[in-house]
Amino acid sequence: MQYRRPKKNISGVLLLDKPLGYSSNQALQKAKWLLQAAKAGHTGTLDPLATGLLPLCFGEATKFAHYLTDADKVYVANVRLGITTNTGDAEGVVLSTKPVNVNQAQFERACQQFIGEISQIPPMYSALKHEGKAMYEYARAGIEIERAARVITIHSIKLNAFEQDVASITVKCSKGTYIRTLAEDIGNVLGCGAHLSGLRRTATANYQITQAITLAHFEAMLPAQRDLILLPADSAVQHLPAITLDADSTFYLQQGQAVWQSGVIPKGLIRLYDEQTQFLGLGEQQSDGKITPRRLLVSKDTCK
């Protein structure tokens, strides 16, 4: 009978620099196994072709993962002009090739057309579900499914380098943005077509790629070292205002009750801490002035 190591109720956020060739779920499962974590989730899919920042949430931190999934992200993308593929990236079959007669100024003007709130049709080669099956499964079977356009926001596009038929750009965008589709759309505007030849995520919310660890480095660490590099659960919600509750309010809040707290209470969701600066979870002020719990940690002693 094969021995199984017991799972740990470990909590925190791991900032992983996802390697090329791994799906987000493969990277998650590898990190989960290395930590022997009982519960884990990732915060937004990166294609196997893409590398870069993939925040992984463990234990109690999974309660706040959706704030990272919904957060703005930053990518460095390589756009290859003159060639289109059936997947919109370098892994696909070439559909067309055209000569590229585009200069840097023309490319930058094309990019500017996509700044702001725009409509984007998700690609067929995506993990979006249709009747319980991923779109890419239909695409591989040669079946085209009609996709509704979605509204996304491109906050900025910065040109890093431009050499003949390849451009490097940095894109800051909202959730749900497909950089492959953006590359194709830029190519369509220029009349020569394009595809995404490389992609690296460099930021998610307040997290930066410089904080991330590679999977190889993480695997080479001792088990105790791996536990120590996890960020606390509240790092996922640093954009929210915070208040400290007194001992009585902390006690009753953890019983699931709405509590009073003196002072000015910010509107909307707030981070809650006890007098020892331990993160309790999220709450929100009710119309009667009390703070009601919205998403609490099971126990402040089980979280970093």
DSSP secondary structure of the chain: ----PPPB---EEEEEEEPTT--HHHHHHHHHHHHTBS-EEESS---TT-EEEEEEEEGGGGGGHHHHHTS-EEEEEEEEETEEESSSBTTS-EEEE------HHHHHHHHHTT-EEEEEPPPSSSS-EETTEEHHHHHHTT-------EEEEEEEEEEEEEETTEEEEEEEE-TT--HHHHHHHHHHHHTS-EEEEEEEEEEETTEEGGG-EEHHHHHHS-HHHHHHTPBPGGGGGTTS-EEE--HHHHHHHTTT--B---SPPPSSEEEEE-TT--EEEEEEE-TTS-EEEEEE-S-TTS--
Residues with catalytic function = 47
